[in-house]
Structures are given as C-alpha cells and as structure tokens.
C-alpha cells in the first residue's frame, strides 16, 4: 500500500469519502446519497482488486472489508433501534453487494484484457513471485471469511428481479469500462479511447433500456461520479509521482549518477 507521501491526493480523497459516509449514515443510511456513495466505493474497490499494483492479499482484503462495511449499517442499526427486529434485509444487501462487486471485478478484468490485446501493451516492471507463511495464513483467513459471507448471503432476490439485474449489470459494466480505460495496463491510443467510449455508451444504454426509476437513476449517477472523481485523483497522483523520474531521465546526468540515484527514487514507484 502506498503511504501518504506516495499518494497524498488519493489518501485525502478517501478521507473525504469517509467523512461523507459518516454524514450519509447520520442522515439516512438507506437514502439515495448513502447508496450512491456505497455503490461508487464498491465499484472502485472492485476495479482496484483487479488492476491495482499493491499486494494481492491487501487488495482482496480491502474488497471483503468493503462488503462488510456496506452491510454493517443494515445489520447493526436495526438491532440498535429495536430488539424485535428480524434479519431479513442485510442478507439480501450482502448478496447484492457481493454480486455487484464480483461482476464489476470480472468486467474490469475482461475490458482491461481486451484493451491490452488491441493496443500496444505498456511496459510493466518485472515481478518476482514471493510466498511466505504469513501471506498463506492471510489467504486462509480471508478465504474462511469470504465463504462465511457467501453462506450468509441470500441470493434469492437476484432471480426475482431480472430487469433490475440487467440495469445493474449495465451500470457495473459502465463503471468497469471507465476504470479499466483509466488505469488498465495498456498504452493509451485513439483506438483504446474510442472503444472505451463506445463500450461506456452501450453499457449506459443497456441500463436505460432496462428501465431506471428516478431515485435509482440518481444513485447510478452519484456512483459513476464517485468513480470518475477517483480516477481523476489517481491519475493526478500518478503523474505527480512520475514527474521526478521523467525529469531525471531527460536531464544530462552521467550514467553513474543515475545508477546511484535510482534506488532513492523507489519512493516514486508507480503503484495504484
């Protein structure tokens, strides 16, 4: 995980998002504002799960943690308000969030692979696979937690609302295409931008054709706005991190000095 010095704007963005989450929960945790924030954050974490450059265990852990945090209000607030509640809402919410996150991650991976195949791949630094006992224990713990969440989730509503399923798939597809086009491992070109624009428009068309109520349209707009804001902030941070490296490469510095300074520039390593 990059620290605050690596990605200051990204960290400030997520701090602001947490503050907005607190405001949304204090107003109405089931309202459109809270729903848009939660859905947008789920889209971002799902895309980052596939295309991020942090450790895979860290990305998967944040994905599962996001699912738990999104379900926590529906699980805890009714219990806090009344002791006569029934657990009928949060299992459906967990199922919907799990399906949305999994579909977004799959769509992001598929579109990123498609863009990579039709464009010149951007150079990627070589990675040496590393395995440790701590990572193995972490994966085992995360797997146990994930299977527990899937077991507790109630996926019955997914079969009863096919129109909402198609509409949600279009929204998740639009978010996945935008994320893959913004931070995917491909070299940007006019063809990649054109294909991404067409895919984004088609996904929005699928969502609109399935029928979107006004309140759901507001939630979808807010979620996509959150995704767009995150990608803009991430790109600004990446450009800021790459600037010292590009300046050093273009300066008439002797090769020996470059070799000496290279280890010190690891702080500017491009991590998403």
**What tokens appear for 70 in the block?**
């999104």
For residue 271, the model assigns a pLDDT of 47
**What tokens appear for 123 in the block?**
């150079």
What pLDDT digit, counting tens, does each position of 240-267 carry? 766 555 454 555 554 444 455 455 544 4
Report how far residue 252's alpha carbon sits from residue 272's, in angstroms, rounded to the nearest whole number: 30
Q: What is the pLDDT along the chain (272 residues), one digit of tens a residue?
A: 556 567 788 888 989 999 998 898 888 888 888 889 999 999 999 999 998 888 888 899 999 999 999 888 888 877 777 666 666 788 888 888 999 999 999 999 999 888 888 876 556 666 666 678 888 888 899 999 989 888 888 887 776 677 778 888 888 999 999 998 888 776 677 888 888 899 999 998 888 887 777 778 888 899 999 999 998 888 888 777 665 554 545 555 544 444 554 555 444 444 44
**What tokens appear for 189 in the block?**
């070109």
Mean model confidence pLDDT for the chain: 80
For residue 158, the model assigns a pLDDT of 74
For residue 46, the model assigns a pLDDT of 93
3-state secondary structure 36-72: HHHHHHHHHHHHHHHHCCCCHHHHHHHHHHHHHHHHH
**Model's pTM, two decimal places?**
0.80
């Amino acid at each position: 995980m990059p620290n605050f010095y690596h990605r200051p704007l990204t960290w400030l963005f997520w701090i602001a998002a947490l503050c907005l989450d607190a405001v949304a929960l204090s107003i109405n945790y089931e309202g459109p504002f809270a729903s848009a924030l939660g859905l947008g954050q789920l889209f971002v974490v799902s895309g980052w799960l596939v295309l991020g450059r942090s450790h895979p265990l860290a990305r998967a852990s944040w994905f599962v943690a996001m699912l738990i945090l999104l379900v926590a209000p529906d699980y805890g607030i009714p219990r806090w308000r009344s002791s006569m509640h029934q657990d009928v809402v949060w299992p459906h919410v967990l199922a919907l969030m799990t399906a949305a996150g999994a579909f977004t991650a799959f769509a992001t991976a598929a579109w990123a692979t498609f863009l990579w195949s039709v464009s010149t791949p951007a150079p990627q630094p070589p990675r040496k696979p590393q395995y440790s006992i701590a990572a193995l224990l972490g994966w085992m713990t995360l797997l146990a937690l994930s299977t527990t969440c899937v077991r507790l989730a109630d996926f019955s509503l997914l079969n009863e609302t096919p129109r909402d399923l198609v509409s949600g798939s279009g929204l998740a597809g639009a978010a996945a295409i935008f994320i893959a086009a913004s931070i995917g491992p491909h070299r940007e070109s006019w063809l990649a931008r054109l294909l991404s624009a067409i895919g984004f428009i088609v996904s929005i068309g699928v969502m609109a054709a399935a029928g979107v109520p006004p309140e759901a349209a507001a939630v979808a707009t807010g979620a996509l706005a959150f995704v767009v804001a995150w990608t803009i902030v991430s790109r600004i941070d990446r450009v800021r991190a790459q600037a010292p490296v590009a300046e050093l490469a273009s300066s008439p510095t002797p090769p020996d000095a470059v070799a000496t300074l290279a280890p010190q520039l690891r702080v500017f390593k491009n991590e998403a």
